Structure 1
């Protein structure tokens, strides 16, 4: 499951953007984009109108990693983007739940 890679292989995911920076600045953007795409794509399952378990797990894992990272770390942008995506999906699920409740 690609979406868990950056958490299952956290040391690599944290060090990879930093290594890219030492080669060429543009590579950081590419690394963050590719790892972020893997973490935020795929399929979700859960109950309609409720946050998906995957999004809740991703939000908590991203928060945990970010708490231990320096804001200067290139990986900070990666985990912040993944956190933002999970929070956006959670908010959307909650809104969908409210709409479903209104229809009843």
Structure 2
């Protein structure tokens, strides 16, 4: 099942470290089948910090997303982003095409 890495980033300091991070991240994704789904473009924060933005990466499966995040290549550049922004990052499984919001109640044992 497809998996995603989602980052909610704000208070970004666009400096040389961030430029280096952006120049190097693509090469870290390729070995794990990762690709950008949302990165830049028009975004409007409807809740939370106004200057915040979202980045969404897609991976063929959850384990590949974890392997990418834990890889030496990504861990080598991660501090460049962490010391120049405030963010929350999450790795998550995608949903089946027929997923309904109430399916979560079943998964949580509430139904």
TM-score exceeds 0.5 = no
Q: TM-score, normalised by structure 1?
A: 0.28
Q: Which has the higher contact order (CA 8 A, sep 6+)?
A: 2
Higher helix share: 1
Give the structure with the larger strand fraction.
2
